[in-house]
Structures are given as C-alpha cells and as structure tokens.
Amino acid sequence: MELHFLGTGAGMPSKERNTSAIAMKLLDERGTVWLFDCGEATQHQILHTSIKPRKIEKIFITHLHGDHVFGLPGLLSSRSFLGGEDTLTIYGPTGLKSWIEATLALTGTHLTYPIDYVEAAEGIVFEDEQFIVRAMPLAHVITCYGYRIEQKPLLGELLVEKALALGVPKGPLLGKLKQGHDVVLETGETIYSANVTAPVKEGFVVTILGDTKLCDNAVRLAEGADVVVHEATFDAETAHLAASYGHATNVEAATVAKEAHAKNLILNHISARFLPNDIAKLLQQARAVFPSTYIANDYAQFELRNQEFKHLE
C-alpha cells in the first residue's frame, strides 16, 4: 500500500501546494486506487504521476468544502475519456450526489461508467473480504467525516515443501490449503491447513481525517493505526485561531496520534501562511509530542509494506 499526496494545501491552491487529494494505491492488494478528497485540479496533479484515472475504484469525500470537491466533475469526465468502464463508488456527506448529478447534467457530461453513491454516516461504509472502512463525524464547521481503512488479516504463506512431504499432490489441494481449508487425501488422511501454512499476518490500518479541530472521534479513528493522516492548518503560535475555524494545529495532530497510540503521523492541509522555510519548525514542534511525524508535500509518497513504513524519495 502506498499513499500518494496529490494536494496538501488548505483552502485554496498556492504555488507550493494544491488543494486536498490523497491517492491510496492498492495495486498489490486489489489492483486499484482509492482517492480521498478531490480538490480543484486534482486531475492535473495526476498527470504528473503514474496513476491511471480508470484504475480509481472508490472516492471518499470527507466534506463538501470546495477545496475538497471542486476537482470531482473534471476527474469524473476525464475518467470516461481515458477508458474508464468499471463502476466507480463515491462516498461522502449528504448533498454530494445531488451536486455531482446536477453538475454533470448541466454541462451535458456523459459518463461511460456507472457511479454508485454511498451516503457517509457513522459506522461501516464499506466491507468486503479484504477491507473494512469505517467513518465517524469530526468537528469542523460543516459536516465532515474521517475514514479508518482496516485491511483484514492475511492468510499465511503456504509451506509447499512441507505439504508435499505430507503427501499432498501438486494441484488444487495445495490451493485449498493456502486458502485456509483442510483437505482429505485419497488415503483418508486429513491435512490441516494450520500445519502447512505460516501464521496469519495482521493487515494494516490507515486513518485519513478530514478537516477538524481537536476532537475525541479523531482519536477513536486513529486508535492503533499504522498511519494517521491529519490536517495541520495552524501551528503552536496560531493555536488561538484553529478551533474557531474548525481546524487543528500541528501539535494537536501530534497529540491525537500520541493519545491513539498510532505508529506514524503524516501532516497535510498546510496553510499557505507557512512558507517552505517554515516547514522544519512545524515538523519540530509536532515531533516534540509525537516523534514519528512527517509532513507531506505535493507528490510525496509513503509506503507501508510488511509492517514497515517509509517515506519514498
């Protein structure tokens, strides 16, 4: 799994940062990409990456402020031009569906694929055999959600040589054992999957929070997460402004990660008031509270593989 930051700014685009959008690349896990928020010019940002819009399977919208949704109509249209045919599922607050449908209708935009809309609410918004996605409301000036993405436990690797030594023939029975099923040989002997597979591996947990001031639900969503993505619109010196605007500081984001016993924190949604030479100070302030903190710039990539987290250069 990789997180590819397409926009890390706050409120409006700047020379340094575009508006909010994060791609979760699940190419190894399911061959698709999930997008979290889609600010203005997200598709322009995608042009500078290897991401293929037709591979975007799901879009999760945290809230309906323009810097998180104004890129949707263009991206949806371009996905058609670029060969998108598979169903796209869009999750988000009440009103998102009607806004998208009205925009597409008024502009005469025809899509070559169907869209499924899921209205976000507290609880599980998606679940299949691989993942569970939970949503909880945050504390912003309008309805806003955070999402917790949980990968279900992974089956252990099949110990092929051990299975063959126990008399399992090459073929379908090996596949059944790998899938966790016990099998019976022609001799009548039962071979137990647990005896010929490595231990089950825990899946990853990633929490992506929308705009929010410091709140309990942010901590709940981030509990024990491998990676937490949290906004940091303000810093310690401007903390008096944060709550009134429904936003958080870098130090408050670090506090959420610390209280949640998370493993890694990535700060984004950085105000344009902070220039490139301010970033080191922002990071230092946050790391004083939660050492494993990173700040995302546009196009930054982070990888989580086999429980190992790293910032890709």
> Which residues belong to the annotated binding site for Zn(2+)?
63, 65, 67-68, 140, 211, 269
Residue 107: CB atoms within 10 Å: 10
Residue 291: CB atoms within 10 Å: 12
Known binding residues: 63, 65, 67-68, 140, 211, 269
Terminal alpha carbon distance of the chain: 16
**Dihedral angle computed from the Cα positions of residues 203, 270, 56 and 135, in that order, rounded to the nearest 10 degrees:** 50
Count of helix runs (H) and strand runs (E) in the chain: 10, 17
CA–CA gap between residue 160 and residue 261 (Å, rounded): 38
Nearest 5°: the CA angle 291, 33, 228 is: 20
Annotated active-site residue 216? The verdict is no
- Say which of 37, 67, 226, 298 is annotated catalytic: 67
Residue 169: CB atoms within 10 Å: 11
CA–CA gap between residue 216 and residue 291 (Å, rounded): 21
Structure tokens at 255: 């506090």
Residue 162: strand, helix, or coil = helix
- Residues in contact with 134: Cβ distance below 8 Å, sequence separation at least 6, in sequence order: 123, 124, 125, 147, 148, 150, 221
Q: Render 178-201 in DSSP notation, one character per residue.
A: HTT--EE-TTS-EE-GGGSBPPPB
CA–CA gap between residue 313 and residue 302 (Å, rounded): 9
CA–CA gap between residue 155 and residue 171 (Å, rounded): 19
Q: Which residues are tagged catalytic? A: 67
